[in-house]
Structure formats: structure tokens, C-alpha cells
A and B are shown apart, each in its own frame.
Chain A
Amino acid sequence: MSEFGDRMRAQRRLLRAVNANAWQEELFGLSSQAIDRWADRSGLNPESELVSLLRAASNRLSFLANRSQMQITEDYRRVSDEVRNLTGEIQEAMGRARH
């Protein structure tokens, strides 16, 4: 599928990983405002590891969004890999945040 579709799927994977835990409210998206709301409702420190990782993933997806009109490049592949790795780190951080 398209880079656009890839980006949406990456976002969905991240949301699914986060929402696998029973938070006060699900994470609705990876925009900065959606993360702010979720962190607040979940009682998480905005500077915590988990929230910081989500912000990093959000920033990397924004990087891809700003290049959605461009051809696939090495940059794009590198950032896609970074987002995939961040998903794993977020899953690990969630385990720590719940303990």
C-alpha cells in the first residue's frame, strides 16, 4: 500500500499496543494534543519514559507525514524502522509504568 497507508498502520500498531492496557481512557491518536489528554487522564507524568517515547513516535510519524508526497527514500525507511523500534520500547515501558 501507499506510504500514507503505512503511516496509518504504524500509528494503529502503536495505539493498539498502548490500549492493550486498561487505562482510564484509550489513547485516541498520536497527535501532541491527544497524547497530552491521554497522559493527563492516565495520571502519568508528562516527563515520564512512556509519554516521552510516545512523543518521539509522534514526532517521527510527523516527519513521515511531511514527506508523504515524496518518493520512498533511505530517510523514509530509516524513520519507519525507528517507529517500529519505538513501538517495542513503548510496550516495555508500559510494563514498567504499571508496576
Chain B
Amino acid sequence: MHIYVYGSVCRGEVQPGSDVDMLAVVEGSDARFDPAVFSQYAYSQLKELWAEGNPFAWHLAQESRLVFADDGSDFVQELGQPARYRNWAADSKKFYQLFLEAADILAVRRDTAVFELATIFLAVRNLAICYSLDIGDSPVFSRRAFEGLGADSLCLDAKSRRILEDARILSTRGFGVPPSEGDVSAVVGRLSDVHRWMCALMSKA
């Protein structure tokens, strides 16, 4: 059994409401790990992710820290560098579609507004991460990965970015103050810029 911490805390990106991402790597499955606290993977699953160059494998390879190992080894470190990422076409389409669905819903109804804003944040961030992996220089996994792409970064005003980040924390951690109707409308008004940025990334990679 190996236990790792990964994600924002390993980057020092701590903010109110942020959680500590924990990974348990086990033989088969282990019911002792609460799924609300741990992402649980079998050793064989993690090896498969490494072999396919999955973004999560790259994330762990770059930003995980061993907390406990029952055999004294560092399993993730021993896996070495994951295979080259080669799923950009499918992943970009997936996150683009996710964005479109959420944007379309926000245009006509608001009963799941926070969830839709959180989904847009997820789509934008993950598209940026996958793009950084695809172009291959240096993958970016930060919460604001979309601002870490140099000339290809998304230029989003600070207010819209905050509203999207806050919605993600509300939706996943249940923490924070809900956006006002004006806040939601402000972000909706910027979604055409986000759409253009997504299309530009998809045409470049």
C-alpha cells in the first residue's frame, strides 16, 4: 500500500476551502479508504495510466509526494516518466463539449448556475493542462493552468476568473459565497472570449 499527497498543496496553492488531494495505491481495492477523501487506484491501473500517457499520470509524476509506503519504496517514482501524451484530439473535444453544454444551459436557465460555472472552470483548466502536455515543453497543472501557457494563455478579467474559481470550490468543497445573478451574467458575457480561446488552442495543437 502506498499513500501520496498531490495537487494544489504540493504547489503551495493553498486558499480557503481548498482540500488536500490524497491518493491510495493498493492491491485490488481496499475498503478502508473513504472515497470522499482518497482517490483509490490499483497498482495495475496506475501502470496502465502511465503506459497510455494519461494526464493524471503526468500530474502524479510531476506533483505527488509520498506519505506512506508499507514496503519502503516509492512506487510512483519507480514508474518513471509516463509515456508521451497522445490523447489531445479526444480530450480537447471532450472538454470543449463540456464547456458548450454548460454555456448553452447558462444562456437559458440558472437553476444549476454554480454547477455550470464550476464545469466551465473545469473544462477551461483541463483543456489548458492537456494543451501544455500536447505541445510538450513543460506541462502546467496549476489551478490557473490557462494562464500558464505563455502567448496562448486565456486573458480573463480578474472578476470572471474569481467567480469561476469560487464556483468550482462551492461545487466541490461546499465552501464560499454563492455568486449573485449579476456575477453569473458577467461571466456569461465573457464566454464568447473563452469559446474563441478554446477554438484557437484546438486549431494549434
| Interface residues of B, Cβ cutoff 8 Å to A | 35-36, 39-41, 45, 48-49, 54, 56, 90, 94, 97-98, 101, 105, 111-115, 118-119, 167, 170-175, 178
Complex Cα distance, B49 from A87, in Å, reads: 32
Q: Which 5 A-B pairs have the closest CB atoms?
A: A29-B171, A33-B174, A37-B174, A34-B174, A28-B114
Question: What chain A residues lie within 8 Å of B101 (beta carbons)?
Answer: 5, 8-9
Question: What chain B residues lie within 8 Å of A19 (beta carbons)?
Answer: 111-112
Say whether A5 contacts B172, CB under 8 Å. no
A11 interfacial contact with B, CB 8 Å: yes
Complex Cα distance, B105 from A11, in Å, reads: 14
List, sorted by A's number, 17 A–B pairs whose CB atoms are closer than 8 Å. Answer: A5-B98, A8-B101, A8-B119, A9-B101, A12-B112, A15-B115, A26-B111, A28-B174, A28-B178, A29-B114, A33-B174, A33-B175, A37-B174, A38-B174, A66-B35, A66-B40, A69-B48
A-B pairs under 8 A by CB, number: 81
| Interface residues of A, Cβ cutoff 8 Å to B | 1-2, 4-5, 8-9, 11-12, 15-16, 19-20, 25-26, 28-29, 31-38, 59, 62-63, 66, 69-70
Complex Cα distance, B56 from A66, in Å, reads: 12
- When A8-B98, A69-B56 are in contact, do A15 and B112 touch as well, CB less than 8 Å? yes
Say whether A66 contacts B115, CB under 8 Å. no
| Residue from B48, B54, B173 in contact with A34 in the complex, judged by beta carbons closer than 8 Å | B173
Question: What chain A residues lie within 8 Å of B36 (beta carbons)?
Answer: 31-32, 62
Question: What chain B residues lie within 8 Å of A32 (beta carbons)?
Answer: 36
| Residue from B41, B97, B105, B173 in contact with A1 in the complex, judged by beta carbons closer than 8 Å | B97
Say whether B174 contacts A31, CB under 8 Å. yes
